[in-house]
Amino acid sequence: MEVKAKSKRISDLRAYLEEERDRLRKELAHVEELGTDEERAGLGNHMADNATIVFEQAKNVGMHRAQERMLAEVDDALARIDDGTYGVCRRCGNAIDSARLRALPTASLCLSCQENLETR
């Protein structure tokens, strides 16, 4: 019974991760498409206009990078599901709590190892 429940949880998480991967890919394609139509800073008639353009470009670059990182984490989690290491901490080899995986499906470290990493 326990194996069947675990298999169902992983199946549900896989479906969520695949949906998230598709969403992120669409968003990245959309952002890249918008990037080709952006105005060039320094070509406007007013300094404030140029500053607004630069700000928007910097914001878009930051969002793009964050989405790329999220996509890489999702792809990594899907690869761990495929190779059977999903739910196993990369640092200590212990099982990652199922509640942590439900809250953060891309988690590759157990809570204890994550806390140790963050307090360094």
- If asked whether residues 61 and 108 sit together in one domain, one would say no
Q: What residue numbers bound the domain in which 108 lies?
A: 87-120
Using a cut of 0.85, tell me whether the model's pTM lies above it: no
- If asked whether residues 29 and 66 sit together in one domain, one would say yes
- In tens, the pLDDT along 78-120 reads 999 999 999 999 999 999 999 999 999 999 999 999 999 998 7
Report the phi/psi class of residue 106: left, alpha or beta, with left for phi > 0 and alpha for psi in -120 to 50: alpha
- If asked whether residues 94 and 62 sit together in one domain, one would say no
- In tens, the pLDDT along 11-38 reads 999 999 999 999 999 988 887 776 654 5
Q: How far apart are CA 63 and CA 57, in angstroms?
A: 10
